[in-house]
Chains A and B, each alone.
Chain A
Amino acid sequence: MWPLLYLSLLQSDPLPGPDLQAFALADQSAAAAATSADWQLSAEAALTTLGTPGAKQQHWQTRLALDSRYSQTSDDGSLYLRWNSRIDRFGGNSFGDNSADDSDSTTVMSWKELYGGYRWNDSWQTEFGRINQKNGVARGFNPTDFFAGAAVRAQISQQPAVLREQRLGSLMLRQQWLGDAQALTFLFSPKLSTQADDAPLALDWARTNNTDRWQLSAEQQLGSGWTLGLMAYQAQAQARQYGLNVSGALNERWLYHLEAASGSQSRWPTGTDSSNGRLASGFSYSLALPLTLTLEWQYDEAGLNQRDWLELLQQPALWQQYLQQRQGQQPTRQALLFQAQSQQWSAGFDWSALWLHDLQDNSDMLLTELTWIKPEYDMVLQWQWAPGPRRSHYGAVGSQLQLLLRYYF
């Protein structure tokens, strides 16, 4: 082909050098046969140095993990099976004097999902099993994510996206109807257990199915890049909650999202129910760099305001009790999230940063991550920095530096 190309150059404008080089590269590019794997297996090894707030010593911790996902569908596409689980082995803490305490070593299995589905036709489908039901369009705080609760068994990061990946699904029966531009979903999740089970391989139903619950949700595409979702959620012996999700593209670069929920919730310290609203709203902007920036305002009326929160911080026992009660929810009333994400920030590198700021006690947490991407594995350097006082929203989390190797089989 190349002699022909050079001959033809004599008759017309010559091609620029970079174009010829690009053609030569494309000539070498062999497309592999299309492959789609049913299994996805990955193994992780992580080394973390932890700075406990208020302590002078640095702790080191190792972690090994195996993550598996499986998806199988019948030939006609009507029957399908999904599996998603992971096992983490946390090594003992070793301290500055190189001593190690093996009694701290723990193994935690997270049976995240196992469910089957039947597609009656293009519109109707029924699913049953342990399903991770995720609601909400917001990036950090999801007021309508009613199934989040305390469903994370192995907390390996403070990043909202990682916490969502780690959590256990709830056993449920889910029925969905899909129209051309709308969807209706009903699900029922029964009570199975109220006894927490910390055994390494336990299914731990108490985390996800400690009460009867149902949810009805509807979503409509409004056209021109906007979507509206409405939902109602009911847990036994609790007030009904209502949710709203709106998101849309303002143009090629700007996005907007609003997620809100309303309904009575228990208020601290009296424990009496009173109506309150929760809201997360924000904008995203994509630059050409490539870099995408997101700013989100988070508001939870049931969280403590500045005066009550600062008072509570002076009473450690009560503070711990309050945090236990608010598990999975915002402890304070208002916070801000700022996120920067860059895929292929530099050749072979992804970079992201997440900054969380509490507007009641002004504590901060910064989570930044640099990922070196190779075809079969990732090398990740994560830095979590929480400089606030030990008794504050984000200061209590502590700082850590983690080096992680993730290999894909």
Chain B
Amino acid sequence: MKTLRHTSRLYLVLGLLFAAATAPLTSAQAQAQAGSSSDAQTLLQRADEVRNPRQSYRVTSTLIEYRNGKEISRNQLAVFTRYETDTQQFRNLIRFLQPRRDNGKLLLKDGADLWFYDPAGKASIRISAQQRLLGQAANGDVVTTDLIRDYSAVQTGTATLQDAEGQSRDTVQLELSARHPDVTYARMQLWLDPINGQSVKAALYAQSGTLLKTAWFRHYKPALGQLRPSETIIIDGLNPQLVTVIQSQDHQAMDVPAQWLQRQALESFNGR
């Protein structure tokens, strides 16, 4: 008992000494971290604004999936996005256009509300964010979301990177940590061009630290007021032979009524 008490006291003293010695350093690090984090948040917000227009719109997305160099599936979707100015959130309704077997099917994503509607059975089925509908692409890869809502960012360095078009880009590297567990990826690394806010590359990780996907953003083209990526290339982290190419085209500003974005409205949805 005495030995135990003695040992405890020793740990206490060592602990206090360690704390006293490191306190100023920790405080300085925290200040540096806070400054860095604030800059990183600004950069992340800028990157979100470049990827996602701050308005309601419609875009056509084509998902092409490859395995071992061969195309194995191709889906074409009309994505209707409503931007809520007051909450700065995106609400999405996706209509499947191709292949023909899927024509008219709908996917509604409104926050944590995810519904899949099949006109054949007229049934809307709630699905989870992790349920796969589009092959290797997670539902979260297709819909419009802002990273800044779900992740806190820290700048971890700079890097000169070859982008997916063969150009050398001076990038800032951000480390993103999920603010809550309800996100598709627990951790991300994002490389972006600090001059124009263009995302160049992202590495997406599971909670375990396993690399799940690598995403490359390229072919920045004018869309709804500024240059935005028209192509995202997603490479599976576990099997790099699985590649998904997401092409975005025909951005159109349009009013997407809030009334469309609920389960009961899916049956009579007429958007194309």
Contact = CB atoms under 8 A, between A and B. Distances in A.
A175 B235 CA distance: 47
A180 B166 contact: no
B39 interface: no
B67 A23 contact: no
B128 A26 contact: no
Given A32-B62, A176-B268, A26 B231 contact: yes
A77 B270 contact: yes
Given A286-B131, A290-B131, A408-B99, A5 B166 contact: yes
A344 B121 contact: no
Contacts of B184: 252
Given A25-B66, A343-B132, A1 B263 contact: no
A35 B264 contact: no
Contacts of B168: 8, 11-12
A296 interface: no
B173 to A, nearest CB: 12
B64 A29 contact: yes
A19 B264 contact: no
A252 B126 contact: no
A347 interface: yes
Nearest to A284: B128
A122 B182 contact: no
A227 B76 CA distance: 29
Given A12-B161, A34-B250, A219-B263, A180 B119 contact: no
A221 B258 CA distance: 12
Nearest to A162: B121
A22 interface: yes
Contact of A40 (B100, B167, B235, B249): B100
A26 B245 contact: yes
A375 B74 contact: yes
Given A25-B66, A31-B247, A221 B136 contact: no
Contacts of B112: 224-225, 249
Interface in B211-267: 214, 216, 218, 231, 233, 235, 240-241, 243, 245, 247, 249-250, 257-260, 262-265
Nearest to B77: A34
A377 B131 CA distance: 24
Given A31-B62, A122-B259, A183-B262, A251 B235 contact: no
Contacts of A31: 62, 247, 249
Nearest to B184: A252
Contact of B72 (A2, A4, A347, A376): A347
Nearest to B67: A347
Interface stretch (A189-197, A253-261, A272-280): A253-261
A181 interface: yes
A287 B132 CA distance: 9
Given A119-B268, A408-B100, A249 B126 contact: yes
Interface in B72-113: 72-74, 76, 78, 95, 97-101, 103-104, 110-113
Contacts of A63: none
B113 to A, nearest CB: 5
Contacts of B128: 249, 252-255, 284-286, 292
Contacts of B33: none
Contacts of B268: 80, 117, 119, 125, 127, 176
A317 interface: no
A180 B264 CA distance: 11
B133 interface: yes
A253 B136 CA distance: 16
A29 B245 contact: yes
The residue in A25, A161, A180, A247 that gathers the most chain B C-beta atoms within 10 A of its C-beta is A25
A176 to B, nearest CB: 7
Interface string B185-220: 000000000000000000000000000001010100
Nearest to A294: B125
B165 A178 contact: no
Contacts of B156: none
Interface string A223-245: 11101000000000000000000
A348 B262 contact: no
Contacts of B69: 21, 25
Interface string B151-194: 00000000111101111100000000000011110000000000
A15 interface: yes
A8 B123 contact: no
B135 interface: yes
A69 B120 contact: yes
A29 B250 CA distance: 17
A394 B120 CA distance: 26
Given A22-B243, A249-B128, A255-B128, A37 B103 contact: yes
Contacts of A257: 126
Contacts of B148: none
B113 A164 contact: no
A42 B95 CA distance: 20
Contacts of A290: 131-132
B142 interface: no
A404 interface: no
Closest CB pairs A-B (n = 10): A225-B112, A5-B166, A18-B240, A183-B264, A290-B132, A178-B259, A286-B130, A165-B121, A122-B257, A34-B60
Interface of A: 1-2, 4-6, 8-9, 11-16, 18-19, 21-23, 25-26, 29, 31-32, 34-37, 40, 42, 69, 71, 73, 77, 80, 84, 117, 119, 122-123, 125, 127, 132, 134, 137, 139, 161-162, 164-165, 176, 178-183, 185, 219, 221, 223-225, 227, 247-249, 251-255, 257, 284-288, 290, 292, 343-344, 347-348, 373, 375-376, 378, 408-409
Given A35-B76, A292-B127, 13 more contacts: A22-B233, A29-B247, A36-B272, A117-B268, A164-B123, A221-B113, A249-B126, A252-B128, A252-B184, A286-B128, A286-B130, A378-B101, A409-B100
